[in-house]
Homo-oligomer: A and B are copies of this chain.
Amino acid sequence: MKSFYGDLRVGILGGGQLGRMLIQEAISYNTNIRVLDPDPDAPSKNLCDKFVAGSLTDFDTVYNFGKQTDLLTIEIEKVNVDALQQLEDEGVLVYPQPRIIRLIQDKGLQKEFFKQNDIPTSPFQLIASKEALKSAAIPFPFIQKLRKDGYDGRGVYKVKSKADLETAFDAPSIVEEWVDFEKEIAVIVARNEKGDIKTFPCVEMEFNAEANLVEFLISPSTLPVEVLKQADQLAIQIAEALKIIGVLAVEMFLTKDGHLLVNELAPRPHNSGHHSIEGNLTSQFEQHLRAIFNLPLGDTTAIGHAVMINLLGEKGYEGLAEYEGIEELLKQPRTYVHLYGKKFTKPFRKMGHVTIVDDNREEAIAKARWAQKTIRVKV
């Protein structure tokens, strides 16, 4: 590689905000990047060496795009894995590896993987159809999740009573006990080809119940040290079992009786790591690049208490996005606004995020609550 990463043709499947922030970091590495995304106006479109508008799920499109690259990575799991497998067989580096993307695309396989590897997870059953769900006679309430294509809160259904069964998904799904959890937490872990592994400090998440999206993220978690240690070890255990190359977000529940249950994996930079851009010595995006380039992994130490809020499209507004309150935010020190370059807003669309860093946790949270009230995406 003559000019560090300049001669390596790197492809990203997906050119949304994650691809965009990955590119923002990749600029410092001289990386030659091309992007495939179905949206001809994708946020990464004008920030790469080559942009291809095309389907991420079509074999030929992904294969032909991948053939023009030396190293392929993803910012979304919903991609054609058969094409990735073929590319890997033909010598293209595909990180995370296709077998891992295939596993994670299917929540049923994910659950089986947890079981086989003694990773604590909430009890589950695999269900083939609505008919099968009805005859399984599972005690209410429970959660039905589509095995495939659930994303950003879609594909999850809470079944509270027999009546809800009628509108349940009629597709392969998993059914989980309703976990009465105390907190949802996440650990981002990175692994390179040499096998070096590094975790980010555990974070706590608060959800917008209506949109089922992370609304509020606090880093680092101040849960008891034994919980944090276990969360960290679980993330490492999973990364090692998968032998993943790249970053992996491990979402976990802390139950009211103090147990950790692994909920879901995302084999890529993740919403629960956005605070790391200003809140940690190395960001998740730079860490992903270091991991896929087989470079030494960066120090993930938290710089301070960081709170990240997602900037979601306001309910009731759809159209050309207008941002209210950003100037107010920019008056505050250590308040970092990231917009994702999306022209159109719609309810709950992720339009950007804001990270607040403070030496005091309560201050950081108070400022984030104020920021959340102050900033609005309307039309």
Contact = CB atoms under 8 A, between A and B. Distances in A.
Given A321-B3, A326-B4, A330-B290, A28 B339 contact: yes
Contact of A321 (B2, B23, B29): B2
> What interface size band does chain A fall in?
35 or more
Q: How many copies does the complex hold?
A: 2
Contacts of A2: 320-322
A153 interface: no
A257 to B, nearest CB: 38
A115 interface: no
Interface stretch (A123-131, A207-215, A294-302, A362-370): A294-302
A287 to B, nearest CB: 11
Interface in A31-57: 46-49
A349 to B, nearest CB: 13
Contacts of A322: 2-3
Given A20-B27, A27-B47, A47-B47, A3 B298 contact: no
A299 to B, nearest CB: 4
Contact of A339 (B4, B320, B337): B4
Contact of A334 (B6, B281, B296, B337): B281
A326 B4 CA distance: 8
Contacts of A49: 46
A24 interface: yes
Contacts of A141: none
Given A24-B24, A27-B47, A30-B341, A330 B3 contact: no
A282 to B, nearest CB: 9
Interface of A: 2-4, 6, 20, 23-24, 27-30, 46-49, 281, 290, 295-296, 298-299, 301, 303, 320-323, 326-327, 330-331, 333-334, 336-341, 343
